[in-house]
Amino acid sequence: MLLTNPNALWGLLAIAIPILLHLFNLQRYRKVYFTNVRFLRQLQLEAKKQRRLRHWLALLSRVLAIAMLVMAFARPYLPPIHGYKAGSEEVVSIYIDNSFSMEAQGDAGRLLDEARQKAIGVVKGHPRAARFGLVTNDFDGRHHHLFTADEMLSLIEEVELSPSVRAISDVLQRQYDIVRTGNKEHASVYLLSDFQRNMAIADPAKTDTSLRHFFLPLTAGALQNLSIDTCWFAVPVQQPGQVAQLHVRITNHSTQQYEKIPVKLLINGIQRTLATADLDANSHHDLLMTFTIRETGLHNGVIEISDYPITFDDQLFFSFNVLPVIRVLSICDRQPSPYLRTLYGSDSLFQYQEVNLRQINYSTFSGQQLIILSGLSSISSGLANELSKFVNAGGHLVVIPTREAERASYNIFMESLQSVSFSTSDTSRTRLDQLDLLHPVYGDVFERDASGRYIMPPETDLPWVRYYWSLQMPSRRDVEVVVRLQNGQPFLVTNSVGEGTVWAMAAPLEKDATNFPVHALFVPTFYKMALLSAPRQALYHIIGRDESVLIGNITPDTEQVFHLRSSDEQFEFIPGHRVLNFRTWIYALNRIHIAGNYHLLAGQRILSALAFNYDRRESEQDYLSADQLSELAVKAGITNFAVIRNSDRPIDQVISEMNIGRQLWKYFIIAALFFLMLEGLALRFLS
């Protein structure tokens, strides 16, 4: 036990006062003898013993009462276990988890409201001279300094739910930055959260062990939550007039089983289909929703379910673009390939163009989706440079060599793309043998077996090859062999370069070199290569996670800027953008706080459609217990910490005891009153 005001112990000298009074008030008795008063004499002796006992009890009670009062004024306390020195100025950082999971109901109401009340208790549990910092999931810049107690209480009342989700590691680093602006010698960080399991504790290398860490877990009641987690199309490119297959993943985060949950799909504000989903406990279900794409252009979609009380994950917004045509450019230096013209020129889905190498206009490359080098004798440095820019910006390139190909110019170009190189030519007759049926170029081309795998019928007569170039694989591992020959040599390979793709064939498209151009396999191969070249963008982005978005080679006009506007026209702002190698990025998207469909405009012209959704990490209702939280803190290297569990005592009292020790003066006041009452009883009943 320690004393806050040890000088008050001089008051113990007051104990001498009742002692002196007791000594001066002693009565002297004179002996008087009477005859036949023996009985009266015995009564007198008994009364004298009672008075003496009464006086001694009264004296002891007064002495102890004075002693207890003096000790109360000395402010005794039990020192805290975390080494806080009473009376020193402290810096306190408080984190309030205001993510959507804090909308759940606990024993004291909504978790966010409970967190705010406990944060207020934390402030009141510290001395008024302490300085406070506030951290929420928004990482608001105006919170990045210290406040007085009154200012802090006002800020806590303003905290509302936010779509942002933060890991504990990021929160702690933010808190460390704030406390470093004050007196770090006596600094503490408090974290008030439901502590979902997907929140990671800080890396031990980044943990500040000199600070005291306090974790205040908030417990939610039993929840029944359904969420729409993600969606994706069965094929990457959508075409007008065809049936689109949209896969939707719905997760049941509860122990209850659900049947016939209605799921609605709206496209451009019109309901296109309605399906139902059956969900087992703690499981997910992939639902297939189909609809017909009736027109080209930008499309805004939303998938909806109805669920309570957690509703932020009941809608999933997405956007996609249906191109009217896919632009294909064939570059040749002799006669153009009749096979390519027959395939692409007769299909309205493609805008096919053939151009001679001597008449090429490089400025048209940025408007193409697929460029095919069909039988060039050589590749000049100027063409190689422009094609590299095209591929890195997201374009797709097919390289088909000719018999007379100048290997040196080809290989210099292919090496710049980190793709295959052309070695020696081979005239031995062989056949195509191995097709990668899992590659998107052959997806849905062949039938599936009972297990769902794509299979090629054993009687399939694959094309033969009589003249081909040996392809040397580069050191990089992401080059895929889509088709192999019987001798194991690659026939068709592909690899990613920047945002685009490079395809390389081993044989020229000539009848005396191979019958591949007239084989049935030629059509799906080059058709799917063209489909895969259509520009693709993510169906949606995550609020608070995707701070920049690639939108392709879209740029605003010279005197205009981008505008990002919600589809309901209730919110609009100007994002930043930068252009690098034909690729445009928009950023500063942290201003988006509401999920929905958005349009990217330049002036009044809509350039693209984007969708933003809330982070689904908050959907999973899996929380860390106090013991698990302690274990993770130890693993993270946090040595000076405490997990403050729920208690019947006010949180400010708990915090005060943990910070400045347990105050004992109240108990000494009670003891003083007890001894005064004991004195009164002694004087009354022993008289």
Q: What is the 3-state secondary structure (H, E, C) of 489-514?
A: CEEEEEEEECCEEEEEECCCCCCCCE
**Which of 58-67, 393-402, 413-422 has the weakest average pLDDT?**
58-67
Q: Which pLDDT value is given to residue 35?
A: 54
Between the alpha carbon of residue 263 and those of residues 314, 422, 633, the distances in Å are 10, 53, 41
Q: How far is CA 630 from the centre of its chain?
A: 22
Cross-strand bridge partners of residue 252: 226, 283
DSSP state of 147: B
Q: Which of 396, 404, 395, 441 is nearest to 422 (CA)?
A: 404
Cβ neighbours around 249 below 10 Å, total: 17
Q: Which of left, alpha, beta for 385 (phi over 0: left; psi -120 to 50: alpha)?
A: alpha
Task: Report d(CA 606, CA 585) in Å as an integer.
Answer: 16
Q: What pLDDT, on a 0 to 100 scale, did the predictor assign at position 158?
A: 94
pLDDT value of residue 577: 86
Domain 541-613 top-level CATH class = mainly beta
Matching residue, tokens 């060039």: 376
Number of C-alpha atoms within 13 angstroms, CB side, residue 20?
A: 5
Q: Is the pLDDT at 287 greater than 90, yes or no? A: yes
Helix axes 38-73, 16-24, angle to 10 degrees: 160
Q: Are 531 and 326 in contact (CB under 8 A)?
A: yes
Q: What is the pLDDT of residue 292?
A: 93
Backbone angles phi, psi at 309, to 5 degrees: -95, -15
Rounded CA-CA distance 357/143 in Å is 61
Q: What DSSP designation does 145 have? A: S
Q: Tokens 């007039």 belong to which residue? A: 241
Q: Please report where in the chains the tokens 């400010």 appear, as a residue.
A: 652
CATH C-level class of 227-323: mainly beta
Residue 413 has pLDDT above 70, yes or no: yes
**Per-position b or e across 646-666, b if 16+ CB within 10 A of its CB:** eeeeebbebbbbbbbbebbbe
Picking from 305, 255, 246, 257, the residue whose alpha carbon sits closest to that of residue 280 is 257
Tokens standing for residue 453: 């795998």
Please state the domain extents for the chain.
2-79+665-685, 91-222+624-660, 227-323, 326-532, 541-613
- β-pair type (480-485, 490-497): antiparallel
576-579 contacts, C-beta under 8 A, 24 or more apart: 579/555
State the pLDDT at residue 134.
95
Q: How many residues does the chain have?
A: 687
Distances (CA, A) of 478 to 155, 182, 501, 576, 641: 52, 51, 11, 33, 46
More confident call, 62 vs 408:
408
The reply to whether domains 227-323 and 541-613 share a CATH topology is yes
**pLDDT confidence of residue 456:** 76
Angle at 682 between CA 681 and CA 686, to 5 degrees: 115
**518: which DSSP letter?**
G
pLDDT band at 548 (very low <50, low <70, confident <90, very high): confident
Rounded average pLDDT over 527-545: 87
DSSP strand pairing (583-587 vs 490-497): unpaired
Query: Range with the lowest mean pLDDT among 211-225, 239-253, 476-490?
Result: 211-225
Q: How far apart are CA 142 and CA 136, in angstroms?
A: 11
DSSP string, 556-625: --TT--EEEEETTSS-EE--EEEEETTEEEEE-GGG--S-EEEEEEETTEEEEEEEEE--GGGT---B--
Task: Check residue 447 and give its pLDDT.
Answer: 77
Instruction: Write the DSSP assignment of 645-675 as a string of letters.
Output: ---SS-HHHHHHHHHH-EE-HHHHHHHHHHH
pLDDT value, residue 686: 56
Which two three-digit tokens encode residue 495? 């690899």
Residue 305: C-alpha distances to residues 260, 290, 346, 594 (Å): 11, 17, 43, 18
Q: How far apart are CA 462 and CA 525, in angstroms?
A: 13
Q: What share of the chain is helix, strand, coil (3-state, %, to 5)?
A: 30, 30, 40
Q: How many other CB atoms sit within 10 Å of the CB of residue 270?
A: 7
pLDDT for res 227: 94
pLDDT (tens digit, 9 = 90+) per residue, 414-430? Answer: 999 989 999 999 999 99
Q: What is the mean pLDDT of the chain?
A: 85
Spatial contact of 265 and 301, defined as CB atoms under 8 Å apart: yes
Provide mean pLDDT across the span 280-287.
92
Distance CA 534, CA 388 (A): 18
Q: What is the pLDDT of residue 624?
A: 87
Let me know the angle formed at the C-alpha of 373 by 369 and 375, rounded to the nearest 5 degrees: 155
Pairwise pLDDT comparison (262 vs 308), residue with the higher score = 262
412 vs 309, residue with greater confidence: 412
**What value, to the nearest 5°, has the Cα angle with vertex 142 and ends 136 and 145?**
85
pTM over 0.75: no
- 558 Cβ partners below 8 Å, 6+ apart? none
Among 91, 244, 236, 311, residue whose Cα is nearest residue 533: 236
Q: What percent of the chain has pLDDT over 90?
A: 41
Instruction: Choose between 61 and 433: higher pLDDT.
Output: 433
CB-based contact 609:549 (threshold 8 Å): no
Do the Cβ atoms of 313 and 616 come closer than 8 Å? yes
Beta strands 430-435; 350-356: pairing state: unpaired
**CA nearest 118: which of 586, 650, 677, 577?**
650
Class of the 91-222+624-660 domain?
alpha beta
| Sheet of 243-252, strands arranged across | 226-233, 243-252, 283-292
538 Cβ partners below 8 Å, 6+ apart? 549
pLDDT at 407 over 60: yes
Q: What one-letter code names the amino acid at 607?
A: L
pLDDT digits (tens, 9 = 90+) for 68-104: 888 787 777 666 555 454 445 789 999 999 998 888 8
Residue 658: is its pLDDT beyond 90? no
If one compares 686 and 574, the residue with the highest pLDDT of the two is 574
Confidence of residue 242 (pLDDT cuts 50, 70, 90): confident
Residue 504 CB-half CA count within 13 A: 30
What's domain 326-532's superfamily in CATH? Class I glutamine amidotransferase (GATase) domain (3.40.50.880)
Burial class of residue 515 in the structure, from the number of CB atoms within 10 Å of its CB (0-12 exposed, 13-18 middle, 19+ buried): middle
Q: Which of 543, 537, 538, 550 is nearest to 613 (CA)?
A: 543
What pLDDT is attached to residue 259?
92
User: For 124-180, how does the pLDDT look when each residue is reduced to its tens digit (9 = 90+)?
Assistant: 888 888 899 999 998 988 888 899 999 999 999 999 998 888 888 889 999 999 988
Kindly report the number of other CB atoms within 10 A of residue 464's CB atom.
15
Q: Which residues pair with 251 in a beta bridge?
A: 227, 284
Tokens matching residue 316: 């999933």
Which amino acid, one-letter code, is at 400?
I
- Return the structure tokens found at 558: 């010279």
Average pLDDT over residues 489-512: 92
